[in-house]
Amino acid sequence: MFQKLLRWLRAQIGTLFGDAPGANDIILSGQMENALALWAQMYETGGPWCTAKNDLHSLRIAASVAREFARLVTMELKVSLSGSSRADYLAEQLAPFLDKLPNYTEIACALGGAVFKPYVSGDRLLVDVVQGDCFFPTTFDTTGRLTGAIFSEQLKRKNTIYTRLERHEYAAGVQTIQNKAFASSSTASLGQEIPLADVPEWADIAPEVRIEVERPLFAYFRIPLANRNDRHSPLGASVYAPAVDTIHDADEQFGRLLWEYEGGQLAIDVDAAALRPTRDGGFQMDQRSGRLYRGCMTGNVADRTLFNVFAPALRDEAYLRGLDGILKRIEFQCGLAYGTLSDPQNVDKTATEIMASKQRSYSTVKSIQHALQVALDDLLYAMNAYADLYQLVPAGSYTAVYNWDDSIVNDPGERKQLFWQYVQAGKFPMQRYLTEFEGYSQEEAAQIAAETSAENNADETLTFAP
C-alpha cells in the first residue's frame, strides 16, 4: 500500500493540495524506496532470501540488532519536567508515550527513523508514532530538520476503505496543516474525495489550519547513520543497513548447519529381503521411528549383511565456527560489542580489546541517544504548542532534564565501588553517594552523612561499606 500511495501522491500532490506546479514533491528516491522495503522485510520475516522455495530459515538477526540497540538506548532513560503546572501536565501526557518508547525506538532503528506527531483528544494530548515507511517527506530545512510531510490513516467500514491524508508544511514561522479524505471500494486506488465529516472519527478535523510556531508540530527521530543507499537523502538509515549482505551470509551459513544436522541423522539401510510386504503393496519393518530404516538394497544377500548403519561424523563444529565469525563481522559493521550476537566465550579477553569493543557500542548508542533527545525536545515543544492553542492548561514554563546512563562501558558495580573510593578520599560528597548509589532519600542521606561526619570528627573509624 505504501508504494501504491507513493506513486499516486507523486502524480497528484500539486492538484490535490493546490500547489503551484513543481512547488513541492515527495523527497524519497527510488533507492530509498527499495531500501525501506528491504529493511522492513528483513525486520518482519528475515529478508527476501528466506522463502519457501529455498527452504532457508532466518536467524532474525535484523530484528535482534534493532531490539538490542533499542534496549541499550532506552534502558536507563529518565525524563523529568519541572517549572510549573504546565510542566506537570506535559509530564503526565508524555508518560504513556515514554512507557512504550523502547518499542518505538526499535521500529525506528529498523527503518531508519520515525515521526512523533502529537494530537489533541478531549483534554488530553496523545502521540501518534509514524513508522519510517508510513510517511512521505516533502521538505527539509538547511539543518536537515524535517519540516514537511504527508501522513496517511486508513479505516475500513464493511466494503469501503477510507483514507485520510494529513499534510504538514512549516515555513517562515507558520505551520500549515491540510486534511483530505477519500473513499474507495478497493486497495487499488484512493477513490473519490469525500468530506471529512462523512467519517465520524474525522468529523472534528478542520480541512486546513495555519498556526504561528517556531518549529514544526511534529518530531522526526532520525537514526544518525550515514545513508549509503542514497548519499544525498536526508532520511536516516537502518542500524543494520551496513550489514545487509553479511546478514544474508549468516542465514545461508545457518542453513548449512541445519542441513548438516538433518543429513547426518542416524539411519539404517535395510536390504529389501529384510522387509515385510504390507497389504497396500508396500514394505515395512518393525521400527520405533519412521525415519530410522531405509530400504535400499536388493538382489542376492548371501555375500553381504542385511543391515548397514548410516552414522556419519557431524561437521557442526566447523560450521559453528564459521557462523560465529560471520556474527562477529555483523557486530563490527553495526557498531555492536563483540559477544552481543556471537558466542561471548569466543571473544578476546584482554582488557584493551574488551574496552575497544564496548567503546564501539557506546559510541553508536550515544549518537542514537542524542538524536532521540533532539526528537523528544521537538515533541515536547509541539505538545506545549497544542496546549496553548487548545487552552488545555494554564500557560507556564517547563524545563526538561534527560538522564542517560553509561553502564554500557562502566559496570554499575564497578562505578559504585569507584565512587565509594572517592568518598573515602574526600573527593565526593557522602550525601550524594547515598542518594545516587544506595537509594536513600535526601533527608535520610543528610542524616547519615551528618552522623558519619560526627563520628569521624571524634576520631572513630569509618565503617560504612558500599
Which amino acid belongs to residue 223?
I
Going by the DSSP 8-state scheme, the letter that residue 223 receives in this structure is -
Q: What's residue 306's pLDDT? A: 54
97 versus 57: the higher-pLDDT residue is: 97
Are 59 and 45 contacting, i.e. CB atoms less than 8 angstroms apart? no
What band does 300 get if pLDDT is binned at 50, 70 and 90? low
Going by the DSSP 8-state scheme, the letter that residue 342 receives in this structure is S
Q: What would the DSSP string read from start to end of 171-217?
A: ETTEEEEEEEEEEESSTT---EEE-GGGSGGGTT--SEEEEE-SS-S
Q: How far apart are CA 364 and CA 352, in angstroms?
A: 19
Mean pLDDT (the chain) is 85
Residues 74-91: tens digit of each pLDDT: 998 999 999 999 999 999
Identify the top-confidence range among 50-64, 296-310, 374-388: 374-388
What band does 445 get if pLDDT is binned at 50, 70 and 90? confident
Q: What's residue 288's pLDDT? A: 44
Q: How far apart are CA 310 and CA 312, in angstroms?
A: 6
Which residue shows C-alpha cell 557500542?
Answer: 361
What band does 100 get if pLDDT is binned at 50, 70 and 90? very high
**Is residue 283 predicted with pLDDT exceeding 70?**
no
Q: How far apart are CA 385 and CA 177, in angstroms?
A: 14
**Is residue 24 predicted with pLDDT exceeding 70?**
no
What band does 439 get if pLDDT is binned at 50, 70 and 90? confident
pTM value? 0.79
Q: How far apart are CA 109 and CA 238, in angstroms?
A: 6
Q: CA 194, 196, 197 angle in degrees (round to 5)? A: 105
Mean pLDDT value of segment 129-141: 93
115 versus 186: the higher-pLDDT residue is: 115
Mean pLDDT value of segment 133-158: 92
Residues 169-184: tens digit of each pLDDT: 999 999 999 999 999 9
Q: Print burial letters for 104-131: b (CB count within 10 Å at least 16), e (below 16).
A: bbbbbbbbbbbbbbbbeeeeebebebbb
Residues 370-403: tens digit of each pLDDT: 999 999 999 999 999 999 999 999 999 999 999 9
Mean pLDDT value of segment 187-215: 90
Q: What's residue 405's pLDDT? A: 74
Structural domain boundaries in the chain = 2-240+364-385, 411-466
What the block records as the C-alpha cell of 219 is 518530531
Q: What's residue 271's pLDDT? A: 61
Q: What percent of the chain has pLDDT over 90?
A: 55
Q: What would the DSSP string read from start to end of 259-325?
A: HHHHHT--EEEEEGGGPEE-TTS-EE---SSTTSEEEEE-S--TTS-SEEEE-PPP-HHHHHHHHHH
Mean pLDDT value of segment 231-260: 93
59 versus 315: the higher-pLDDT residue is: 59
Residues 25-45: tens digit of each pLDDT: 888 999 999 999 999 999 999
